[in-house]
Structure 1
Amino acid sequence: MAKRRPSGDGMVRKREDGRWEGRIVVGHKENGEPIFRYVLAKTQKELLAKLHRDMDIYQDAQLTEDSRMTLGEWLDRWIEEYGAVTLRPNTLRSYEQYIRCYVKPYLGGKIVSRVTRLDIQKLYRKLKKEGRVHDHPEYGHELSDSMVLRIHAMLHRCLKDAERDHIVPYNPTDGVKLPKSNYKPKQVLDRDQMDAFLAAVDKNEIWRDFFYTELTTGLRRGEICGLMWRDFDENAGTLKILRSVNVPKRGEMEIGETKTERGRRTIRLPPSTVQRLKERKKHAISQWIFPEPLAPEKPVRPSAAYYWMKVLLKEAGLPHIRFHDLRHTFATHALASGVDAKTLSGILGHTNASFTLDTYTHVTPDMQRAASDVVGGFLEDLLGKELNPWPENEKAEPAP
């Protein structure tokens, strides 16, 4: 039996047309036959330079026959075999859209193992300049920095698995230059604004408990919509967050997992929130803590929560904010009033405390001192005599 040629092994010859051709072994088929990478050049010197470059790239790569598929084919396989079983439905739909609209039109036909870092860099540059599918009255066809970053996150994940499966010699998304994150600034309600908002909320019998609970827990919109009475322990004063509600555009309601594994958690509630929920439970007609008003067998739709937040903000004469800014408001005031980052990270369901600190770096010691009188008094009125309703030795615990 012939000796198996290692990856990176190569040979050089001069063709009849005068050009120089070289090839190197980049992997092997299932039957052991080598898979070659061919290189052409006008001169022997130029060819040797190209071969040495490729030898460094493919050394010990051990690519499989699947390395000959196109990037588009690999992404389709990834979605079917990896994404469909690991991604949340909403994330899966987003990935499918990114692949269909932003990757396949430009790089979908290129052999996946030949996609380079330069190819990826050119793709991001082109998407940034003219990647928007539908013309925008203000931005034209320019794609936002945040969208380019989301596309990069998707591609990086897909090609990382391709590298692991010996389909590409390296992940070409590593080391590319990315646009800076350009997220909308967080908008946090101050004490007067929160008083005004809660005053407007308190007049609405359907939504007052919902928004009071949101402001005292900082739950994600899908999480608070997915709360069930069996999640609430009125004796222990705790609440389990085990699921999230999502409704894709023009789609059916989906009840699934929380955003992250750490999202499944048990949090201790402020006494005032426990009391509100206990009173609400006495008149409950649904398994859901916050059911759809006209269909109590279903949880409230996240879009309805967003709509009524806008209505109540307008009634209170407050500026427009995103629903997630209610979560930011809770977190900012909690940090400013002394809740430590590790405890807050557990309450919010963040992956770790460092992410919490990175997200809320605007809450500096100076801000804490300046806010202590204002926020302290507000939280005492809202949550009870203790400024910190979550004692440091009672961390948020993972749900069983």
Structure 2
Amino acid sequence: MTALERHMFLKLLLWVIRLLTLLLIVVSILPEMPSGQWWVRLWEFPRLQLTLALAVPLLLLALHIWLKRPRKEHAVLLVLILAIGGWQLLHILPFTPVWSNEVPTADAQTLEDQSTFKVLTANVSYSNDSYSEVVALVQREDPDLLLLIEVNNEWDEGLAPLTEHYEYRVGEVRGEGLGIVLWSRFPLLEQEVKHLVSERRPSIFATLDIPGIGPIRYVGTHPVPPGLEDRITHNDETSERRDSRVRDAELMLIARHVQRDPDNRWIVTGDFNDVAWSDTTRLFADLSDLKDPRHGRRLLSTYHAERPFWRYPIDHLFVSDGFHLIDLDRVRLKGSDHFAITTTLTAARKDQANPEASEEEHQTAQELVEEGTEDASEHDVSD
């Protein structure tokens, strides 16, 4: 390599490092914008992937430093890359063992005298036809509460054997990935299917009577994902991708339901189509005062099951205080692009404290509800 070629190579390499660093800075801070646009909100999802992607400019920078004497710009680029990594890790680390638990671990010595129950939550994917395999998985896992999402007529027929194992059922069977059904071994003192923002998106509200524990309020939900191509269009020639506003509004309305009844124990579970560290999910947790069992334990990424590198924690289970965790795991669901989540819980003392969300958080939630309702109305999905 001639001196000129070496000079041109080093110059090109430096520009590549600059552009990659700038790109990673932009996509890292983009989700901080107060926008519901899908192409903004989607950058909340790949924080782990973006952290790993920082290895590319970091290695290229090391190469450039090795080939050319260190200079001030090298230090600046290194600081920027490390700052981006620190910012991303700040969102991820709470879902690792280095952080403290939000839901305490149950004391093994006292479990013999306590009632326990198991919850399984799974998005079965409506285009999937592995009905018997899913039934076999449910029988093997043997949950007391089973929430299945994207249940259409074919799935409803395929899941018929479950009626032998579960006496109680509530939900709505719909096509296009919109169905949601809860099976329960526990009596349902109250049950209702609500359409919080969109008539096309049902959520399940129930009160369960669990022996040895008492009544527990339960919500199962599946808000619309941002970026989903809208099937409801104003004419046959146009379509557009959905923003996050309807999803955000649904989560805020559920948080309000919980907030209005803090004396009861609550479980909220489902495919939120939102990652655990997003501003919306954190606001949902603050308003409702619900806790995430993954906090301080593991990410438990559930989607996409077939693409390990592009996998995010979007299937959730939140609980109020008054529960301790026995076990938390994910299970592969044949034919689905989601893993199932299994959670085993036991009751603990309830502190009866009211949620302590700030006035600013309440205002933000109200704005999200108003924007989501307006967005649903504009796209002809609110009635």
TM-score w.r.t. structure 2 length?
0.20
Whose strand proportion is higher, 1 or 2? 2
Whose helix proportion is higher, 1 or 2? 1
TM-score w.r.t. structure 1 length?
0.19
Which is higher, the Rg of structure 1 or of structure 2? 1
